[in-house]
Amino acid sequence: MTCKVKYSVLTIITEHIMKRIISFLVILCVATSLFALGSIRVGGSFSLVTGRTKPFTQEDKSTIVRYTSSGFGFDILGKDDLSDSIATWFDFNMTFGTSGKIKNYNDSEWTSFDDLFKNAEAYAKSFGGTAKKKLYSLSASGGVMYKLPFTNTHFNYAIGGGLFIDRLFADITVYLPEDYNKGDRVRCFNVGLTTYSEISNKLSDHFGVSLTVMLRLGILNFSTNAKMENGKILEELRAFGFAPSFNMPVVLGVSYYF
């Protein structure tokens, strides 16, 4: 997909706002995790993200792209009690993709990210070069939880909800002799609503373990597909609007209670 970059004022403003939102949520999550009076949890995570873009428009063609990715990473969560039963939570998650697929909306078959990389690697080797790939996602979320009043059990339960924003990164770059490189770069932003479910066990006054599942429904999507050369954008397609996505981080972690 290629076209000359033509930025509208609305697109530039929207991209700027979305970058500010994710930066604010990440900073808020880290600050809350460090200074909250409640607890901080650090753990390993598995995450799955799938969704679609709004149409990428090139001349007289419009293409909707579907995407999916999954992988393992880490998660940091901070909680602060508002009362005995209500607490606020802020979460930051980073997942390194172990698999990823894309396809045009009306196509019957998916193309794997690994196959795209193998093709790029074969092309690079034919000229005496190398290829590299990146596939990972960042997300930040926050909201309110309710601690369920179950007392005849060794575990504590909580449910809640809030807002989230995530960003999926996918890059393939070919490095050729004479310090020349070119690549294809994809970025997908999603903003939407998230649920929060937690099972925890407090082992002592300060330490505990927990299992957390967050089901996320993306509502707003902003995506870019850029052709790169020597680290600079040559051509870029952009798509912005209401488009569904689904994300499900599952986190097993250790908590410290202040």
Query: What does residue 19 show for φ and ψ, rounded to 5 degrees?
Result: -65, -40
Q: Which residue has the tokens 């407090």?
A: 202
| Range(s) of the domain holding residue 55 | 9-253
How far is CA 130 from each of CA 138, 173, 176, 178, rounded to the nearest angstrom? 27, 9, 7, 12
Q: How many domains does the chain have?
A: 1
pLDDT of residue 4: 37
Q: How are beta strands 130-147 and 180-202 bridged, if at all?
A: unpaired
Q: Which residue has the tokens 């209670």?
A: 257
Q: Hey, is 110 helix, strand or coil?
A: coil
CB atoms within 10 A of CB 114: 14
- Asked, for residue 1, whether it belongs to a domain, the answer is no
Give the pLDDT confidence of 171-222 residue by residue, as tens digits: 999 999 988 999 999 999 999 999 999 999 989 988 999 999 999 999 999 9
- Asked, for residue 63, whether it belongs to a domain, the answer is yes
- Asked, for residue 3, whether it belongs to a domain, the answer is no
Count Cα neighbours of 170 within 13 Å in the Cβ-side half-sphere.
23
pLDDT of residue 14: 52
CA-CA distance, 252 to 46, in Å (whole number)? 9
Instruction: Mark the ranges of the chain whose per-residue pLDDT is less than 50.
Output: 1-12, 33, 36
Q: Residue 149 sits in a domain of what CATH number?
A: 2.40.160
Nearest to 174 by CA among 166, 183, 161: 183
Q: Which residue has the tokens 């020597």?
A: 230
pLDDT of residue 1: 40
Count Cα neighbours of 69 within 13 Å in the Cβ-side half-sphere.
27
Helices (H), the chain: 9-35, 113-126
CA-CA distance, 89 to 23, in Å (whole number)? 17
- Asked, for residue 72, whether it belongs to a domain, the answer is yes
CB atoms within 10 A of CB 68: 21
